[in-house]
Structure 1
Amino acid sequence: MAKNNIYTMSFASIYPHYITKAEKKGRTKEEVDEIIRWLTGYSQEEFEEQLKKENNFETFFKEAPQLNPSRDLIKGVVCGVRVENIEEPLMKEIRYLDKLIDELAKGKTMDKILRK
């Protein structure tokens, strides 16, 4: 089975779009970074190193130090699909991130986004 194109895309090439989406709604790059660190377990330094390496999404998530165990609390629709119904593991991780960025752009508080 062929890999989805997003798997081979550089995470660093998509990251600015996450920031733009957030900033258009009055949120910050720092909040985007906090969400990514919460989801993946990267420190800020490790995350910045991932961006420099221009790793693809597959490698970015594969190398994540500790995927947050609370990520399964992320529910809802992103790109017309319920994230909790996605079966393919990597696509699920990508859509979790998309959903969190959507929530940020929609004005949710960081406590709610980070499932605290």
Structure 2
Amino acid sequence: MDNSKIYKMPFAKVYPLYIQKAERKGRTQKEVDEIIFWLTGYDKYSLFQILSNNSDFDTFFKYAPKINPNAAKIKGIVCGIRVENIEDKLMQHIRFLDKLIDELAKGKSMEKILRE
């Protein structure tokens, strides 16, 4: 499967969709940001830079300060595929983020989402 189209998609294009999905279910942008910070190690300032630079998903994850080691605990299905079985690390990280946002929208507590 050719994932290059997803890898080159600007993160700034998808970020508002994550927020909309969360807000439709009564969650907040702050919670979306907390998930992103937890998964990638970005902070508010560095996330703003990524968004301002219109960086793609490849760049977003390539320059992430640190993928949280507890990300390996993320399990489940996104787009019909088990995230824990995805061999391509970049695609796995993208799907991890999708899965966490899905969990937020489904009403899970932040404690459970962040695997604490």
Deviation for aligned residue 1:2: 5.1
RMSD: 1.1
2:30 equivalent to 1:66: no
**Within 1, Cα distance between the matches of 2:65 and 2:13?**
21
1:26-45 deviation per Cα after TM superposition (whole angstroms, max 9, x unaligned): 00000000000000000111
1:67-112 deviation per Cα after TM superposition (whole angstroms, max 9, x unaligned): 1010000000011100011011100000000000000000000000
TM-score, normalisation: structure 2: 0.97
SS at match of 1:64: coil
1:12-53 deviation per Cα after TM superposition (whole angstroms, max 9, x unaligned): 001000000000000000000000000000011111111001
Which residue of the partner structure matches residue 40 of structure 1?
40
SS at match of 2:42: coil
| Deviant stretches of 4+, over 6 Å | none
Which residue of the partner structure matches residue 90 of structure 1?
90
Which residue of the partner structure matches residue 55 of structure 1?
55
User: Structure 2: which amino acid aligns with 1:66?
Assistant: K
Identity %: 61
**Residues 15-26 of structure 1: pairs in structure 2 closer than 5 A:** 15-26=15-26
SS at match of 2:87: coil
5+ residue gaps, structure 2, are none
**Within 1, Cα distance between the matches of 2:113 and 2:107?**
10
Deviation for aligned residue 1:4: 2.5
Number of aligned residue pairs: give it. 116
2:36 equivalent to 1:27: no
